[in-house]
Amino acid sequence: MKCNEIDINPANPIVMGILNATPDSFYNQGRESSLDELLHNAGKMIDEGVTILDIGGQSSRPNAVLVSVDEECSRVLPILKMIRAEFPRVLLSIDTFQSEVARLCIEHGANIINDISGGDMDDAMMDIVAQYKVPYVCMHMKGTPQTMQNQPAYDNVVKDVYDFFVVKLQRLHSKGIDDVMLDVGFGFGKTLEHNYQLLSAMSSFLSLNKPLLAGISRKSMVYKPLHANAEQALNGTTALHMIALQQGASILRVHDVKEAMECIILHKKLTESGKTLSSD
């Protein structure tokens, strides 16, 4: 698929940089940041090679307190406007499940809507996306941020998430929305084992013919097996990013752009070398 003439596919993976405009993010990068600090972080990510900046004004960590449309807009609109003015060519994504936030942000220059609920938390979201004809990231989440980690259970997590996407894609297509990216939702209503089952089988979602987004960066699926914390999880994140790329991810959603770009470069080199060897 194309987004503002940028081709998004597994052959040329790209990086989506996380820009948190929230006071309670699970990882401290961006926490309590001023507008100047957020703008500086945006510029740094762009210099390091980011293609999309994903701006979030509502924490989605487990048990996060939900904020109103007005509060979320007061967090994201000022930085959205500043980035759009300072960096007019960068793609801007808004991480929201509230349709009114999505609408206002699109009208102020957002290119993509990244919805952790796949439309389940606001029935009007898909209609807004259809009306404004913007690409949509559809993520799987079991429950809500307040309930998702209360003993999540599946018959088969890979099949259940796959079936979820089949239904969502049918609904999106019925509304004329075909520019869709899929996010299996690591950490959103999944146990540690569920997360690794999804990662190991991520390539099975390629049959849905939509770009896959991997949101692994510094999450508990990285640091818990290492007996570490989010601040210590960069090396583990990079290791899992390489696996996600090998499984067909088109987009890495990350806190650390430079390291993710390095991972993409090395993965491309590995892939090219494999093709050369097989053709000899």
CB neighbours (10 Å) of residue 130?
Answer: 15
Residue 27 is classified by DSSP as S
Among 19-33, 149-163, 203-217, the minimum mean pLDDT is found in 19-33
The CATH number assigned to the domain holding 113 equals 3.20.20.20
| pLDDT reported for residue 144 | 61
Domain range for 59: 2-279
Distance of CA 150 to the CA centre of its chain: 23
Q: What is the pTM of this model?
A: 0.93
pLDDT of residue 25 exceeding 70: no
| pLDDT reported for residue 82 | 96
Local confidence band at 273 (pLDDT 50, 70, 90 cut-offs): confident
- Quickly tell me which residue has 């997590």 as its tokens: 157
Convert the pLDDT of each residue in 141-150 to its tens digit: 986 665 556 6
The alpha carbon torsion through 199, 203, 209, 214 (nearest 10 deg) reads 30
Q: How many domains does the chain have?
A: 1
Question: What 3-state class would DSSP assign to 68?
Answer: coil
Alpha helices in 92-233 (DSSP H): 99-107, 125-132, 157-174, 192-200, 220-223
pLDDT of residue 61 exceeding 50: yes
Share of the chain above pLDDT 70, in %: 90
Convert the pLDDT of each residue in 146-190 to its tens digit: 555 666 789 999 999 999 999 999 999 999 999 999 999 999 999
- Residue 209: CB partners within 8 Å, gap ≥ 6? none
Could you tell me if 214 and 253 are in contact, meaning their C-beta atoms sit under 8 angstroms apart? yes
What would the mean pLDDT of 10-35 be, rounded to a whole number?
Answer: 77
pLDDT of residue 21 exceeding 60: yes
Share of the chain above pLDDT 90, in %: 80
Q: Annotated catalytic sites, by residue?
A: 219, 253
CB neighbours (10 Å) of residue 68?
Answer: 12
| pLDDT reported for residue 30 | 46
| pLDDT reported for residue 75 | 94
Arithmetic mean of pLDDT over the chain? 92
Local confidence band at 88 (pLDDT 50, 70, 90 cut-offs): very high
- 184: which 2 tokens? 């299996």
Task: State residue 88 phi and psi, 5-degree precision.
Answer: -65, -20
Among 1-5, 102-106, 198-202, the minimum mean pLDDT is found in 1-5
| pLDDT reported for residue 156 | 96
